[in-house]
């Protein structure tokens, strides 16, 4: 708030503005008296300063404006910028943490635009992996994949500046609802397949399509994007040996058994995600890790765990994806043609009639994220250690300046 005079009383009324217009003013506040002239200024955190700049500009924040994609990046990829990203960005809060990296919320110092900054340590044994992730990301442009916008490098660390998505991961999104429909699940699966179709066309296999890596890009409609290509590898249609990467519950049987991976290795993971969204449980979870591994290798799962309302078409779709041999699984293009995903009036209405209560997926969501939190706590990386993990705007306001 600017232009206030010292030692005077003010009453405030708040109004909100979006693309439609201004709301009515709220209830007047109690009188607030400003401090005398010469009083010390309140120390604001970076997050509070950022919000104040937005407020003082008087412009509404366009949360869901259409992203303009520069498809020339495909032929003119992003290059490394040698130097420290902190010269150009303020890092506000932690979004997530992995074994060797940390994703922070970053604000451009000149434009106030908000981005996600993935920071990776450049230890000697990690340089090849970081370069591999950069090589995978630098020329990708697709509406279903979070775009790499810039990359900074110092002798100790690499920083990827990525587009900041508005929503949470797909599991958190569904578990926040009292109920959701099979139509919502089909929409998410269709969009994931769109992203995979592009990746496979570019010769890449994601190999780690767990819920954390499928994020809602908007908050008012179902729009998802694939993130984190740290496990991605170039995979041919003839098969390519890859390390055992990804979340144990989502890995395909050929990767588990250290056989060559195929583009359809991602399709298996799509099947696991679909099953989770249609049941609130994992398809191959056993009593212990050994039993879970055997269930994956022998494709042992139960349809009884699916919600009773699940359509027959959805069940058949899962049967199509859960094949032991990758070449027997459909490609993303063939999945799009499956009856369950067809955008016909009949199938849309049938999927919308299948309504699922959200309590089971909420339980699994809590279990999954607790597991991820424990894994991140074992991280040896000290990157972003001084920043809080951001779960809400209230927490961001407490971020140390």
State the DSSP string of 122-159: --TTTHHHHHHHHHHHTT--BTTBPPEEEEEE-SSEEE
pLDDT at 40: 79
User: What domains appear along the chain, each with residue ranges and CATH number?
Assistant: 78-164 (3.30.200.20), 170-375 (1.10.510.10)
pLDDT at 26: 82
Long-range own/partner contacts, residues 15-20 (CB < 8 A, 24 or more apart): 17/60, 18/60, 19/60, 19/62
Least Cα distance to 172 among 399, 314, 367 occurs for 367
DSSP-H helix ranges across 42-113: 46-57
Which pLDDT band holds residue 3 (cuts at 50, 70, 90)?
A: confident
Residue 363, pLDDT above cutoff 50 = yes
* Burial class of residue 79, CB neighbours in 10 A (0-12, 13-18, 19+): exposed
Return d(Cα 148, Cα 139) in angstroms, integer: 8
Q: Which residue has tokens 């700049």? A: 53
Catalytic-role residue among 90, 169, 194, 208: 208
According to DSSP, residue 85 is labeled G
Question: Is pTM beyond 0.85 here?
Answer: no
pLDDT at 122: 86
**Tens digit of pLDDT for each residue in 308-361?**
999 999 999 999 999 999 999 999 999 999 999 999 999 999 999 999 999 999
Long-range own/partner contacts, residues 54-61 (CB < 8 A, 24 or more apart): 54/112, 55/1, 56/2, 60/17, 60/18, 60/19
Rg (CA), the chain: 24
The pairing of strands 114-121 and 214-216 is unpaired
Known catalytic membership, residue 208: yes
Report the b/e string of 247-284 with b at 16+ CB within 10 A.
bebbbbbbbbeebebbbbbbbbbbbbbbbbbbbbbbbb
Alpha carbon 183 to chain centroid, angstroms = 21
Q: Choose the weakest-confidence range: 135-139, 172-176, 394-398.
A: 394-398
pLDDT at 48: 56
């Amino acid at each position: 708030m600017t232009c206030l005079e010292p030692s005077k009383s003010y009453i405030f009324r708040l109004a909100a503005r979006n693309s439609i217009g201004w709301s009515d003013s709220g209830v007047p506040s109690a009188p607030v008296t400003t401090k005398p002239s010469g009083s010390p200024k309140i120390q604001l955190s970076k997050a509070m300063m950022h919000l104040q700049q937005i407020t003082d500009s008087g412009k509404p924040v366009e949360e869901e404006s259409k992203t303009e994609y520069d498809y020339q990046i495909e032929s003119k990829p992003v290059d490394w910028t040698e130097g420290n990203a902190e010269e150009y960005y303020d890092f506000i809060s932690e979004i997530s943490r992995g074994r060797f990296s940390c994703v922070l919320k970053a604000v451009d110092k000149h434009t106030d635009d908000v981005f996600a900054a993935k920071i990776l340590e450049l230890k000697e044994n990690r340089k090849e992996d970081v370069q591999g992730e950069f090589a995978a990301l630098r020329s990708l442009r697709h509406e279903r994949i979070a775009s790499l916008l810039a990359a900074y490098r110092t002798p100790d660390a690499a920083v990827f500046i990525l587009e900041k998505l508005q929503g949470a991961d797909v599991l958190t999104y569904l578990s926040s609802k009292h109920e959701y429909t099979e139509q919502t699940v089909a929409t998410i699966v269709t969009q994931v397949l769109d992203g995979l179709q592009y990746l496979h066309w570019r010769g890449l296999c994601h190999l780690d399509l767990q819920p954390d890596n499928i994020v809602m890009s908007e908050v008012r409609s179902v729009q998802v994007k694939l993130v984190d290509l740290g496990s991605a590898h170039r995979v041919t249609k003839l098969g390519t040996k890859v390390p055992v990467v990804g979340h144990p519950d989502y890995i395909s049987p050929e990767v588990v058994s250290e056989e060559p991976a195929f583009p359809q290795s991602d399709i298996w993971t799509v099947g696991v995600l679909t099953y989770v969204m249609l049941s609130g449980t994992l398809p191959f979870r056993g009593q212990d890790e050994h039993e879970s591994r055997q269930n994956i290798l022998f494709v042992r799962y139960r349809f009884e765990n699916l919600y009773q309302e699940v359509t027959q078409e959805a069940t058949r779709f899962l049967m199509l994806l859960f094949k032991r041999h990758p070449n027997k699984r459909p490609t993303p293009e063939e999945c799009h043609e499956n009856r369950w995903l067809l955008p016909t009036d009949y199938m849309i209405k049938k999927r919308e009639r299948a309504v699922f209560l959200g309590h089971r997926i909420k339980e699994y969501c809590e279990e999954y994220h607790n597991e991820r939190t424990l894994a991140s706590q074992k991280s040896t990386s000290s990157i972003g250690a001084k920043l809080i993990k951001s779960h809400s705007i209230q927490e961001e306001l407490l971020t140390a300046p």
